[in-house]
Structure 1
Amino acid sequence: MAVTNERLDLRVDGVDLGIAMVRRDGEGVPVVLLHGFGSTKEDYADIALHPAFAGRPFLAYDAPGCGETTCGDLARISIPFLVRTARAVLTRHGIERCHLVGHSMGGLTALLLADREPDRFLSFVDIEGNLSPEDCFLSRQIVTHPSDDPEHFVADFTERVRRSPQFSSALYAASVRHKVRPGAVRGIFESMVDLSDHGDLMTKFLSLPFPRMFLYGEQNSTLSYLTKLAANDVELAAIPHSGHWPMYSNAVALWERIADFISQVPGPTERL
């Protein structure tokens, strides 16, 4: 099946959205992929080229405030808004069951969506999505480096990330200002911090009733909760030569681990 780029008009919470997406029809259970802050659907476009996913349908889209997606009111964007957007996208496309993949902001969005509708998902690959306060090394900058000017905040944020010792931080920083609208940043970051501090995210993640994998760059192998995840039947996948952006640093290993994990998940019939 051919890969198509499409635009989907939606209205979420009274806000008009033009969702830019890339997808493919096919046989089997689809994979739905949610990107992180400062990234776009193109983070996942290579899924169409990997033989392990040949023929499998997939869908990725630019979140409101990011990439080519348009949003009628940037100030309304928050993580809960992104969750409701994701639900609307899946509903509009008639996706009743799928494998879920989310990175960082997209991982948090995916977690809250899966917690709300667990029967919709067969598996969840969480690529360094927020599970605890320590995960807010990017989003907490809205508190630690406040600015009343969204443009100035994004410029300063970008420069701080550029100087980070994490793999691919400079590559990521080079395109942030082209991929995210400054007017959307405060609502996204403040809600990420609030949910990470008070949203009981770890309990939600460990309570999901389907296979879960937590995928992370080996630079972040000091995350305090990795042992707890492993003790609760969460598969751990450390991607070599990577930090928070393994899709930029070591995409080959990333896709191999995701493909292997999904291939071992029973289909809808077996699970019921």
Structure 2
Amino acid sequence: MSFATATDGTRLYYEEAGTGTPILFIHEFGGDYRAWEPQMQFFARRHRCITYSARGYAPSDIPADVAAYSQEIAVTDALAVLDHLGIDRAHIVGLSMGGFATLHFGLMAPERALSLTIAGAGYGAEKQFEDYFRGVSLEVAERFRTLGAKEFAKTYALGASRVQFQNKDPRGWQDFADRLAEHSDIGAANTMSGVQARRPSIYDLEERIRACTVPALIVVGDEDDHCLQPGIFMKKTLPAAGLAVLPKTGHTLNLEEPALFNQLLAEFIAMVEAGRWTARDPRAEPAQIMKTS
């Protein structure tokens, strides 16, 4: 088994496949390193692909202290994986919790990112739901702590933006639900309390986001309601961002629509590597409806 070591000594389990320009995949709260298998198989044909389990997710270490978990630590852990592998720059791809980590990676270490793919990121960002999200995150953490992942996964896997996956691909969804049930009770609780419940709203980061010039792809499912408006906000705020909205799709984008996700990501990376994914043309003024002079 292969491990990188974080700055505080936490061991992070990773797997890699393929050769070429590196891609680092960062999983969502409901996943682990296995959640990127459709992408590992597809992109390893032409890229060096790395997937890892965040702290709190086996086989990585599971710190018992919630203070060992935060949004900033999630970024420094991603950097620790790259450092361990001797990778200077990589395409960073994240879903949900991993999507937030990808955005913050671009804010904290833009010189290490060839590109940012921010998928399904938005929960807790909407200002009108900010307090509710923090409260329900702590409630979810308590459910994992008291009921355990094996039991609470039965509820969590049927969230409003998860049932789309179940309806389209019951076998794929069941694999996701089974992996969720294997999560560490304390790891899931601490991740929800330390990362999810405490991370800042992206709307409070507007000035920093506007200064981030790393090429970015934002991907959102059109039935992932609490990611739609944050996705549009990031499209309008990140200078070199494109937005893809997947129809009739929920939160678990890369598993629910793997072929479409892979197609979008492959085209994006190809455009970036060709130097053709640039900032928006200044002539495309958002306030203009029709040009008259």
* Counterparts of residues 30-69 of structure 1 (less than 5 Å): 30-50=22-42, 54-69=45-60
The residue number in structure 2 matching 1:192 is 196
- TM-score, with normalisation over the residues of structure 1? 0.80
Describe the superposition over 1:73-120 as per-residue Cα deviations: whole angstroms up to 9, x where unpaired: 454233332222111111111111111101111111222222111111
For 2:109 and 2:204, the matched residues in 1 are separated by 17
Q: Is the 8 A contact 1:124 1:212 kept in 2?
A: yes
The residue number in structure 2 matching 1:247 is 254
For 2:123 and 2:209, the matched residues in 1 are separated by 8
Letter in 2 for 1:224: Q
**Secondary structure of the equivalent of 1:186?**
helix
For 2:77 and 2:265, the matched residues in 1 are separated by 24
**Secondary structure of the equivalent of 1:150?**
helix
Give identity over the alignment, percent.
18
Letter in 2 for 1:58: C
Over 3 Å counting, the alpha-carbon distance change for 1:153 and 1:205 in structure 2 is farther
Unaligned runs of 5+ in 1: 1-5
1:259 to 247, 260, 266: 266
1:228 matched to 2:233? The reply is: yes
Give how far 1:26 is off: 1.7
For 1:254 and 1:119, the matched residues in 2 are separated by 25
**Secondary structure of the equivalent of 1:85?**
helix
Letter in 2 for 1:46: P
1:20 to 13, 25, 33: 13
For 1:229 and 1:81, the matched residues in 2 are separated by 22
Describe the superposition over 1:32-55 as per-residue Cα deviations: whole angstroms up to 9, x where unpaired: 1100112112222233432x6523
Describe the superposition over 1:187-208 as per-residue Cα deviations: whole angstroms up to 9, x where unpaired: 3223322223488345444432
2:179 to 172, 175, 189: 175
The residue number in structure 2 matching 1:99 is 91
For 2:243 and 2:148, the matched residues in 1 are separated by 34
Q: Is the 8 A contact 2:138 2:192 kept in 1?
A: no
Describe the superposition over 1:220-247 as per-residue Cα deviations: whole angstroms up to 9, x where unpaired: 2672234433434521112233200012
For 1:139 and 1:251, the matched residues in 2 are separated by 30
For 1:114 and 1:249, the matched residues in 2 are separated by 26
Higher alpha-carbon Rg? 2
- TM-score, with normalisation over the residues of structure 2? 0.75
Unaligned runs of 5+ in 2: 167-172, 279-293
1:164 to 146, 159, 165: 159
**Secondary structure of the equivalent of 2:72?**
helix
For 2:110 and 2:261, the matched residues in 1 are separated by 25
The residue number in structure 2 matching 1:79 is 71
The residue number in structure 1 matching 2:169 is none
Q: Is the 8 A contact 2:120 2:224 kept in 1?
A: no
Q: Is the 8 A contact 1:241 1:249 kept in 2?
A: no
Over 3 Å counting, the alpha-carbon distance change for 1:207 and 1:218 in structure 2 is same
Letter in 2 for 1:253: L
Give how far 1:163 is off: 3.6
Over 3 Å counting, the alpha-carbon distance change for 1:159 and 1:140 in structure 2 is farther
